[in-house]
Amino acid sequence: MKIDGSCHCGAIKIEGEADPEKTQICHCTDCQTGTGSAFRISIPVPGNTFKMTGQPTTYVKMTADSGKPRVQAFCPKCGSPIYSTTLGDGTQPSYTVRVGILRQRDQLSPRRQQWFRSSRPWVTELAAVPRSEKQT
């Protein structure tokens, strides 16, 4: 499916093609730290379909929970996480795009959870937490 979106301030815009069946939640401690939350929701986008306007700031997390270095990209103005990718090895890159920046996020239900051993113990009990439709 065609996806598109932007960071919170609109300085960076992305588009590409992604398979909704590959939407995933990652519970690793790197994703928890990088989002300031309990997990991150992402979708892989092949490099040959990925287009971006604006210039993100990047850094390399030298050893991710996977054991591999990962390039992390975020907006230098608002801080929105944009994507991660592997270090250049001469092959066409794939981008792991952060679902929260996509206009199609309502259509991208997670199909898989990774690094569940690092999940917060309460994450499976959210249905029992009181809710309100907007901030009270």
The domains found in the chain, sorted by start residue, are: 2-128 (2.170.150.70)
Residue pair 30/61 in contact (Cβ under 8 Å)? The answer is yes
pLDDT in single tens digits along all 136 residues of the chain: 999 999 999 999 999 999 999 999 999 998 999 999 999 999 999 999 999 999 999 999 877 666 778 899 999 999 999 999 987 766 678 999 999 999 999 999 999 999 999 999 999 998 899 989 998 7
pTM of the model: 0.89
Q: Is 116 exposed, middle or buried (0-12, 13-18, 19+ CB in 10 A)?
A: middle
Residue 24 vs residues 53, 77, 78, 131: alpha-carbon distances, Å:
25, 27, 24, 24
The letter for the amino acid at 65 is D
